């Protein structure tokens, strides 16, 4: 009996090692392109051309970063544009979506239900259909090639209005009742009581909206044609055209582009996984 | 009487508060979601001139009829459908496999989750650039294939391979994401179901067939529909890959890229809107199906 269970145990742990190898293999396949890009950004062009596929640069150099940051006149500008646009988009979304979600969840006014159904309907409108008309509307407003053209259309997100509403509906009403007894109005209650308690929902929203704006390619491609207003994805795309075989520069630029999101991810990765559950799977 | 008036006043002020809370969001959604929807329908029935003053000429169904005889639509449709048919099942199966492994009580699960999520937070621009470099004539992938004595390919320049290169990249970047979602669902399956089955002497693979798979049905449906919606909208990767042309030899021309080219390169706004409307309809149906299905699951 003892012998039997031992072989069973061995068989099981053997199986487990196999699973580990599979999983580890896939994890390496996922991670390797990133590490390789990172290491290439510290290699000299001659080393890259010579076909060294190793992860450790033979001649470690910062020159690629120096080149793109200090000698590429527009690179810092693109970085600034991306940060500026993504920050505004995130801020606007946090405020507008939360206010709207709160109103739909908690304030009884005529048309509340109807507006909620409209938000649900908007959720179903695919982005492709609004692209061309939005372009024409922006053109009419004179907002092509402006920051507001990049910011305002993305400043509200029906998905997150819906989610904030769901969040506030499950909120205990006692706190708000107490606030109202203390003589606080709806606005004060919202800012001082409700919003601070909504931090987890706001954190998930911040991450997804910021990332969405940071990585967005199609919308800026349509709205902006002046290189000094490019966000990083567009900048990077033209950058590649300009330095078509200078992969050392292209990789350095890609890493600079990725680092901010990566650091947010490193700090908040809990919220990312939570957010995935939050946004849809069930 | 006075009481009534007080009640009405309160209701009015409540309503005003409600409207003022919802006003900022309404303005944006009205201008950039609802108005565009109707505007798109309007545009698709017109010939539109946008250079100089914008002019519209009503032409009825002509834009939609033109779609039927447009050779490039056929090519883009063929590419897109091929892309969807190969990528979606592959990435879903791969995700399921990865999730099952992850669920086998291994240590370091969280580390794998963190790594698997990486492609999902990285912009498509950066992913595409990294892969273009991996796909280089003497890049990483060809070096690896040479090392293994396998045939190498011109991943970027060969019309027979270019779309497959994008597929490979997409499967690589999306499968781990669905694996994480699958894993969450796997961990929600009550343990006692398996315990009961074990006591009844049900084999492992039968447990998988009769307990695990049915429990994963909603997630599988979610993964398939999200996969179809995502792949149908393929644009960034193909655009950056081909420098906006859809080449080599139209092999990476997708529907969204075709819409982009018609609308913003040839300024054929009406026709592009008709195409977008057709695509949107297909996607809306897929979304609707998914919502209905998931709602139903919840009620059951």
> Which helix or strand (DSSP H or E) is residue A112 part of?
helix A112-123
Tell me the CATH number at B225.
1.10.3720.10
CA distance A156 to chain B (A): 6
B192 part of a folded domain = yes
B140 within domain boundaries: yes
Could you report the per-residue pLDDT of B172-216, keeping only the tens digit for each?
Answer: 999 998 998 898 899 888 888 888 888 888 888 888 888 899 999
Q: A38-44 contacts: CB < 8 A, separation 24 or more?
A: A38/A251, A38/A255, A40/A247, A40/A248, A40/A251, A40/B133, A41/A65, A41/A248, A41/A251, A41/A252, A41/A254, A41/A255, A43/A248, A44/A248
| CB–CB contact B176 A16 (8 Å) | no
Distance from CA of B1 to the nearest CA of A (A): 22
Q: Is the pLDDT of residue B299 over 80?
A: no
Count of all residues that appear for chain A in the document: 282
Within an 8 Å CB–CB cutoff, is residue B15 touching chain A? yes
State yes or no: ipTM above 0.85: yes
Pair (B161, B178) in one structural domain: yes
Closest chain B C-alpha to A239 CA, distance in angstroms: 11
| B254 & B159 share domain | yes
Confirm or reject contact between B14 and chain A (CB < 8 A).
yes
| B55, B89: one domain | no
Contact A126 B284 (CB under 8 A): yes
- Domain co-membership, B137 together with B81: yes
Residues B166, B181 within the same domain: yes
Show which of B15, B36, B62 is a domain's final residue: B62
Residue B223 and residue B107 in one domain: yes
Q: At the top level of CATH, which class does the domain A72-280 belong to?
A: mainly alpha
Q: Count CB neighbours of A51 within 10 A.
A: 12
User: Any residues with CB less than 8 A from the CB of B195 and at least 6 apart, and which?
Assistant: none
Same domain, B123 and B268: yes
B75/chain A closest Cα distance in angstroms: 19
The answer to whether the CB of B255 falls within 8 A of the CB of B266 is: no
Chain B hits for A30, Cβ within 8 Å: 115-116, 118-119, 172, 176
Q: Does B246 touch chain A (CB under 8 A)?
A: no
Boundary of a domain, candidates B62, B84, B108: B62
Answer yes or no: do B157 and B279 share one domain: yes
Span B231-273, pLDDT tens digits: 998 999 999 999 889 889 999 999 999 999 999 999 999 999 9
List, for chain A, all residue ranges whose pLDDT scores fall below the cut of 50.
Answer: 1-6, 280-282
Please say which residue of B18, B37, B62 terminates a domain.
B62
pLDDT at res. B1: 53
pLDDT tens track for B147-169: 899 999 999 889 999 999 999 99
Tell me, yes or no, whether B47 and B77 share the same domain: no
Domain assignment present for residue B53? The answer is yes
Nearest to A107 among B18, B263, B287 (CB): B18
Q: Could you say which of B34, B125, B283 has the minimum Cβ distance to residue A237?
A: B125
Residues of B in contact with A237 (CB under 8 A): 125, 240
Domain count, chain B: 2
Please indicate, yes or no, whether residues B57 and B180 belong to a single structural domain of this protein.
no
Residue B298 lies in a domain: no
Of all helices (H) and strands (E), which one includes residue B266?
A: none
Question: For B265, which residue in chain A has the nearest alpha carbon?
Answer: A222
Cβ–Cβ gap B104/A19 under 8 Å = yes
Residue B298 has pLDDT above 60, yes or no: no
pLDDT, tens digit, 9 for 90 and up, residues B88-130: 999 999 999 999 998 887 788 888 888 888 898 899 999 999 9
Give the distance from residue A129's alpha carbon to the nearest chain B alpha carbon, in angstroms. Answer: 5
Strand partners, B55: B49
CB contact (8 A) between residue B134 and residue A109: no
Residue A158 to residue B176, Cβ atoms within 8 A:
no
Q: Report d(CA B272, CA A166) in Å as an integer.
A: 37
* B110 and B204 co-located in one domain: yes
pLDDT value for B287: 75
What end-to-end distance do the CA atoms of chain A give, in Å? Answer: 45
The pTM (predicted TM-score) of the whole model is 0.88
CB-based contacts of B137: which residues, under 8 Å, 6+ apart? B154
Has residue B300 been placed in a domain?
Answer: no
**C-alpha dihedral sign at B115, B120, B122, B128:** positive
A-B Cβ pairs (cutoff 8 Å, strict)? 257
Query: Does position B297 have pLDDT exceeding 70, yes or no?
Result: no
Query: Is B145 an interface residue toward A (CB < 8 Å)?
Result: no
Give the relative orientation of helices A2-40 and B124-134 as an angle to the nearest 10 degrees: 90
Other C-beta atoms closer than 10 Å to the C-beta of A222 total 18
Give the domain range for residue B30.
2-62
DSSP B190-249: -HHHHHHHHHTT--HHHHIIIIIHHHTHHHHHHHHHHHHHHHHT--HHHHHHHTTS--ST
Quick one: B117 and B158 in the same domain? yes
| Alpha-carbon span B130 to B275, nearest angstrom | 32
């Amino acid at each position: 009996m003892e012998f039997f269970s031992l072989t069973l145990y061995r068989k099981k742990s053997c199986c487990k090692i196999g699973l580990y190898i599979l999983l580890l293999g896939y994890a390496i396949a996922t991670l390797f392109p990133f590490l390789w890009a990172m290491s290439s950004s510290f290699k000299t062009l001659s080393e890259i051309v010579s076909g060294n596929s190793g992860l450790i640069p033979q001649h470690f150099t910062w020159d690629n970063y120096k080149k793109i940051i200090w000698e590429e006149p527009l690179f810092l500008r693109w970085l600034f544009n991306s940060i500026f646009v993504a920050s505004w988009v995130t801020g606007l979304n946090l405020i507008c979506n939360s206010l709207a979600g709160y109103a739909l969840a908690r304030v009884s006014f005529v048309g509340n239900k109807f507006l909620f159904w409209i938000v649900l309907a908007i959720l179903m409108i695919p982005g492709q259909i609004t692209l061309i008309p939005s372009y024409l509307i922006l053109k009419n407003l004179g907002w092509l090639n402006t920051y507001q053209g990049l910011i305002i259309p993305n400043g509200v997100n029906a998905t997150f209005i819906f989610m904030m509403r769901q969040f506030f509906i499950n909120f205990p009403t006692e706190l708000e009742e107490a606030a109202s007894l203390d003589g606080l109005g709806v606005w004060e209650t919202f800012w001082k009581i409700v919003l601070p308690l909504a931090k987890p929902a706001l954190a998930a929203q911040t991450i997804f909206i910021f990332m969405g704006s940071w990585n967005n390619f199609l919308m800026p491609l349509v709205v902006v044609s002046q290189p000094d207003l490019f966000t990083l994805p567009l900048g990077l795309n033209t950058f590649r055209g300009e330095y078509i075989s200078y992969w050392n520069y292209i990789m350095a630029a890609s890493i600079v582009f990725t680092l901010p999101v990566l650091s947010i991810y490193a700090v908040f990765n809990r919220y990312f996984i939570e957010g995935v559950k939050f946004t849809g799977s069930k | 009487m006075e009481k009534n008036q007080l009640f009405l006043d309160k209701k009015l002020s409540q309503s005003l508060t409600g409207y003022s809370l919802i006003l900022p969001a309404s303005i944006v959604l009205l201008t950039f979601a609802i108005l565009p929807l109707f505007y798109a329908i309007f545009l698709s029935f017109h010939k539109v001139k946008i250079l100089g003053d914008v002019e519209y000429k009503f032409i009825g169904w002509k834009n939609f009829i033109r779609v039927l005889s447009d050779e490039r639509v056929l090519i883009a449709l063929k590419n897109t459908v091929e892309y969807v048919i190969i990528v979606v099942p592959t990435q879903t199966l791969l995700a399921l496999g990865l999730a099952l492994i992850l669920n086998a009580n291994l240590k370091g699960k969280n580390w794998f989750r963190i790594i698997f999520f990486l492609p999902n937070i990285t912009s498509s621009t950066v992913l595409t650039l990294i892969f273009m470099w991996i796909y280089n004539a003497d890049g990483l992938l060809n070096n690896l294939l040479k090392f293994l004595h396998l045939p190498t390919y011109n991943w970027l320049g060969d019309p027979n391979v270019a779309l497959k290169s994008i597929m490979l990249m997409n499967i690589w970047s999306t499968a781990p994401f669905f694996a994480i979602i699958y894993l969450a669902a796997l961990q929600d399956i009550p343990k006692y179901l398996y315990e009961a089955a074990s006591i009844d002497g049900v084999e492992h693979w039968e447990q998988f067939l009769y307990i695990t798979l049915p429990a994963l049905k909603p997630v599988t449906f979610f993964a398939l529909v999200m996969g179809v919606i995502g792949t149908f909208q393929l644009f960034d990767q193909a655009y950056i890959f081909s420098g906006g042309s859809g080449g080599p030899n139209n092999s990476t021309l997708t529907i969204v890229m075709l819409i982009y080219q018609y609308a913003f390169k040839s300024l054929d706004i009406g026709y592009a809107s008709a195409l977008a409307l057709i695509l949107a309809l297909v996607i809306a149906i897929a979304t609707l199906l998914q919502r209905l299905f998931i709602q139903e699951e919840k009620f059951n």
